[in-house]
Amino acid sequence: MHNDTLALAQALIARRSLTPFDNGCQEILISRLEKIGFDIERIRCGEVDNLWARRGLSAPLVCFAGHTDVVPTGPLGKWDSDPFKPEIRDDKLYGRGAADMKGSLAAFIIAIETFIARHPNHSGSIALLITSDEEGVAIDGTVRVVEALQARNEPIDYCIVGEPTCVEKLGDTIKNGRRGSLSGTLTVKGIQGHIAYPHLARNPIHLAAPAIAELTQAKWDEGNEYFPPTTWQISNINGGTGATNVIPGEVTILFNFRFSTASTVESLQTRVHDILDRHQLEYDLRWEFSGKPYLTPRGNLVEAVSLAIKTVTGIEPQLSTSGGTSDGRFIADICPQVVEVGPRNATIHKINEYVEVKDLEQLPEIYRLTLENLLLR
């Protein structure tokens, strides 16, 4: 079992699946899933390959979700080995996607194969939702599969996303939710002029400064048991012509909210506009909403995964909603309980990305025991 997980992870890493291209990874998974009775549905959207595979028709439906696409490698000369030629050094498997998240995909398959071999007549159903559009713009990936499932009224009861979640040791962290992401492009308008004649101009940077100060100090919400308070951060600010003697005519500010379930998109937008209007600014503001928050409180799925982790590793996992967005935000629309459980995240998106070989031995056991905890009750 352990050797199978390692071999499958290596086969997947060897595929140069730079987002949004799958480059044959899903066909590797399909060839194994068909042998154990899964019905296969390929959902192609533009350049994106999506896979919905299901075995069984009864409830509850347990779904494993993930992605085959990886981020670019960066300078190849800085890698100690070819990122698409998996290599084991010092009990670590190196390669792009080793931790994010081809190791988890391999663990999914081996866990499911082992579970079915031991419990061929289990209750409920098992599914996999795999995309090649998670690391990119994420518009033709998981969200399209979710739309298809919604259209035919095919809900998911439990979903386990294989994103790398752990910090120090495998099993130390379960992501039971994620913050939402709301961005804005704010352009504050002034009057351009000569810097020696400020009375003939209106400096938009000066005009915007008090509003910026208020936005940075605002308390948007208190958070809750699972989420920290919502934060507002400027990511870019640009104004001026490049000359030292010209007052700019406008300043553009890019900002982002990472917000909890204690706030809504509408409440945040309303408060921002109220602050800008109170400071009597002339402005344009364009909003971009890229992901709502989701939360899975303690319940069947969290308990099943936590028990599996404790059994395999001896660790009591901590619940966390930190980090960026994930495809869990889409799946939460049709699934009341979504968690993320995977290997350590210390090297994801970095040069010399790796996953511990030991983690690849234990991760399929965690997934298999989770299935047993959910489907053999």
Q: Collapsing DSSP states into helix, strand and coil, what is residue 106?
A: helix
Q: Is 284 a catalytic residue?
A: no
Q: Measured at the alpha carbon of residue 214, what is the angle toward residues 279 and 236, in degrees to the nearest 5?
A: 95
Residue of 100, 113, 133, 134 marked catalytic: 134
Describe the crossing of helices 103-118 and 2-13 by its angle, rounded to 10 degrees. Answer: 140
**Is the previous residue joined to 101 through a cis bond, with omega within 30 degrees of 0?**
yes
Which residue in 346, 337, 339, 310 sits closest to 172, CA to CA? Answer: 310
User: What CA–CA distance (Å, rounded) separates 1 from 364?
Assistant: 9
171 is written with which tokens?
A: 């099993």
- Give the chain's radius of gyration (CA, Å): 24
Which position has the token pair 């752990």?
166
316 is annotated as an active-site residue: no
Q: How far apart are CA 288 and CA 13, in angstroms?
A: 33
CA distance 176 to 322: 9
Please name every residue paired with 234 in a beta bridge, in sequence order, or none if there are none. Answer: 255
Question: Residue 288, Cα to own-chain centre: how many angstroms?
Answer: 17
E strands, 176-224, are: 177-178, 180-189, 193-194
Tokens read off for 194: 């000569």
Query: How many C-beta neighbours within 10 Å does residue 83 have?
Result: 23
Nearest to 40 by CA among 129, 135, 140, 151: 129
- Exactly one of 22, 69, 113, 353 is catalytic; name it: 69
d(CA 56, CA 66): 20
Q: Alpha-carbon torsion 102, 60, 318, 295, what sign?
A: positive
Residue 261 is classified by DSSP as T
A 10 A CB-CB count for 210 gives 13
Contact present, 93 and 86 (Cβ < 8 Å): yes
Active-site residue set: 69, 134
